[in-house]
Amino acid sequence: MSATTKKAAKENILQAINRALADAMESDDSVLVLGEDVADPEEGGVVGVTRGLSTRFGEQRVRSTPISEQAIIGAAIGASLVGFKPVAEIMLMNFTTVAMDMIVNHAAKLRFMSGGQTHVPIVIRTMTGTGFGTGGQHCDYLEAWFAHTAGIKVVAPSSPRDAYGLMRSAIDDPDPVLFIENLPTYWLPDEPAEKGFRVPLGKANVLAEGRDVTIIAYARMVNEAKAALPKLAEAGISAELIDLRSIAPWDQETVLASVARTGRAVVVHEAVTPFGVGAEISAVLHEKLFRQLHAPVKRLGGAFCPVPFSKPLETAFAPQAADIVAAAQALVAA
C-alpha cells in the first residue's frame, strides 16, 4: 500500500485536542495556551493534553500559571480584549467554581455590555467525569450552570474527530466557549480528523438511524448509548442515536425532526438529573411535539448527590447502557 493511500492511524481524544491546539497555534499567532502545569517541564498538564506545545511554540505562548483559577481566567479575558485568542485550562470542572465571577460576570457579558464592540474569544478547557474514584469535588458535570448563562457556548465531544473539530471551531469563535473533556474517554482510540476539520458549534450528529425511539446524549453517555443499541436491536427496537456535541446552543432542529419521526425520546447525561440539560430538552420536546409524542420524554442522569468515592456507588451514580436499554424498552411498551 502506498503512502498516499495508507489509512491514517487512529488517535484518542487527548491526542486529538493536542493536535487541534498545535494546528491552531501554527496557523494563528494570536492563539495562546495557559493554565496550571501546561508547559513541557510539567509534562503538558495533568494528563498531558498540552505536551510538546511549549517546546514547539515557546513559553510566551504556552504559559504555566500559578494555582489560581481566577488568575487564569482573568488573564485570558484580558488577553482576549487586546487581540489574542487564549485557550485557558481549568484542570477540573469543579474548579470553575473558583472563577465563576470571571466567567459569568465578565467573559460572558462584556460583549453585551459594550454594545457588541468588544468580543471575548476565549476557550476554557476543563475535564471531568466519573470512573476514576476522584470523589465529589473533582468529577461533577456542571454544564447546566454555564448553558444557563447567556453569552457562553458549551460543547462536549465524545470522539477524537469531534474533539479536534469542536476545538478548532471553539478557537475560531468570537465568544467564550466552555470545552468539556471527559476523563475516562481520553484514551479511547478512533478515527482521526483531517487537519483543519471543523465541527460547527450548535450542530448535532446522528450516529445511528432508527424508527422507534430517539436517544439523545453527549460526552461519555454517547458510548453508553452505543453499547445499548445492539441490546435494543435484539429486543426488536430500532433506536436513533443523536450525539448532541454542543450543549449551548443545542441543535433543536435535528432533535425535533428525529423525535417527531420516532415519537419517543430518552435524554441521557452524566450530570445529576434535576435541573439538568435533559430537563431543558424534555421541556422543548413536550412544548413543540406534544401531540406527536407516543409517551412522555424520559430523562436519565446522575443521582442527586455528590459523586461517591466508593467504586460500587460511583458506578451506580451515573447511567449505564443497561439503564438506557430499560428506559427505551419502557417507552416503546407504553
Rounded distance, CA 122 to CA 44, Å? 19
Question: Out of 11, 36, 106, 138, which one is annotated catalytic?
Answer: 138
Does 59 qualify as catalytic in the annotation?
no
Q: 36, 69, 181, 314: which is the annotated catalytic residue?
A: 69
Cβ(101)–Cβ(122) below 8 Å:
no
Q: Which residues pair with 268 in a beta bridge?
A: 300
Angle between helices 13-27 and 160-172 (to 10 degrees): 30
* Calpha distance 156→31 (Å, rounded): 21
Q: Is 35 left (phi over 0), alpha (psi -120 to 50) or beta?
A: left
| CB contact at 8 A, 243 and 113 | no
DSSP annotation string for 177-228: EEEEEEGGGTT--BPPPPTT----TT--EEEE--SSEEEEE-THHHHHHHHH
Strand partners, 205: 243
Looking at the chain, the number of H-run helices and the number of E-run strands are 12, 12
Question: Catalytic site residue 69?
Answer: yes
User: Is the previous residue joined to 274 through a cis bond, with omega within 30 degrees of 0?
Assistant: no
Query: What Cα–Cα distance (Å) separates residue 31 from each residue in 62, 76, 177?
Result: 9, 11, 14
β-pairing, 177-182 with 123-128?
parallel
For residues 216 and 261, give the distance between their C-alpha atoms in angstroms, rounded to a whole number: 14
CB 166 within 8 A of CB 199: yes
The alpha helices in 28-92, defined as continuous H runs, are 53-57, 69-81
Catalytic residues: 69, 138
